[in-house]
Amino acid sequence: MSRARSHTIEEYPTPAAEQEQGGGCLSGFLIPPLAVLLVSLALAALAMSQPASASPHPTAALPAHGLAPFFRPEVLHWRDAILRWAAAAQVDPNLAAVVMQIESCGDPRARSRSGAMGLFQVMPFHFAAADDPYDPDTNALRGLSYLARSLQAASGDARLALAGYNGGISVIARGDWTWAAETQRYVRYGAPMYADAQRGASQSAALDEWYASYGVGLCRQAGENQ
């Protein structure tokens, strides 16, 4: 986590030219009411044929699928909980899993040198006084709340949201070249992992590379603490 971390049909008056000239039996006073009646019937039939909309501003649907199978076993250990936590935060569970993968590999007792704690490596100032930072539900609530804020600030761009989660939401508005090396590395692995999950891949080269370079010890420790 951040180290800074509504149309009404109106009656139309008879045109002036028709009032002056008169006309046949369907001119003048009879044509407008007949036209209105025909239009009204047509609109009513169209309305009846259209399905009702539940809401004029429906909430964007979240993915219905589960987690990608390529996440490490230590992260898949939390599969059901991640689906529940992500639904509550209204974020894609695979994005939540990417964050957990990089942050702790599923270790609920993980702690960084900068003081970040738990599954989603949440900094102390994000917790309330009565919170237990290492309680998985509490840690997920605080961490995924911040991820949702980061996504909103990034207009739904997952890559930028990952940068915001790691480096602070303020980095989203800045050029990539200004990001700290840690944030650039976080996005370099996290963004393709998420892309792999979105396309339904069974494997992720980005995750394999991350694991070989940074995750072996982290995931071993996670396995011991689960």
| Same domain, residue pair 125 and 217 | yes
Shared domain for 108 and 149, answered yes or no, is: yes
Same-domain status, 130 and 42: no
Tell me the angle at which helices 136-153 and 79-89 cross, rounded to the nearest 10 degrees.
50
Structure tokens at 140: 């997920």
When divided into structural domains, the chain yields a total of: 2
Which amino acid is it at 174?
R
The answer to the question of residue 55 being in a domain is no
Q: What is the pLDDT of residues 34-56, one digit of tens each?
A: 444 444 454 445 444 444 333 32
Q: Show the DSSP H helices in the chain as ranges.
A: 16-21, 31-49, 73-76, 79-89, 93-103, 136-153, 158-167, 181-198, 205-210, 216-225
Q: What is the mean pLDDT of residues 123-139?
A: 96
Within 90-179, residue ranges assigned H as helices are 93-103, 136-153, 158-167
Same domain, 44 and 84: no
What's the pLDDT band for 136 if we cut at 50, 70, 90?
A: very high
Share of the chain above pLDDT 90, in %: 71
Do 93 and 134 sit in the same domain of this protein? yes
Take residue 148 and report the two structure tokens written for it.
């949702």
* Residue 10 domain flag: no
**pLDDT band for position 95 (cuts 50, 70, 90):** very high
**Residue ranges making up the domain that contains 84:** 73-225
Tell me: do 77 and 178 sit in the same domain.
yes
Whether residue 26 sits in one domain with residue 132:
no
**Which of 49, 64, 90 is the last residue before a domain boundary?**
49
- How confident is the prediction for the chain on average, in pLDDT? 80
Nearest in space to 144 (alpha carbons), one of 189, 103, 202: 103
pLDDT of the residue at 64: 45
Same domain, 28 and 104: no
pLDDT score of 84:
98
Same domain flag for 44 and 87? no
The reply to whether 7 falls in a domain is no
Asked if residue 40 and residue 108 are part of one domain, the reply reads: no
Whether 29 and 78 map to the same domain: the answer is no
- At residue 122, the 3 state secondary structure works out as strand
Please give the angle made by the CA atoms of 92, 128 and 142, to the nearest 5 degrees.
Answer: 10
* CA angle, 103 then 129 then 170, to 5°: 50
The answer to whether position 126 is within a domain reads yes
- Of 63-72, 74-83, 124-133, the poorest mean pLDDT is in 63-72
Would 54 be classed as within a structural domain?
Answer: no
Q: Please check whether residue 9 lies inside any domain of the structure.
A: no
Better-scored residue on pLDDT, 100 or 24:
100
223 has pLDDT over 60: yes
| Backbone torsions φ then ψ of 200, nearest 5 degrees | 75, 25
With 0.85 as the threshold, say if the pTM is over it. Answer: no
- Whether 194 and 125 map to the same domain: the answer is yes
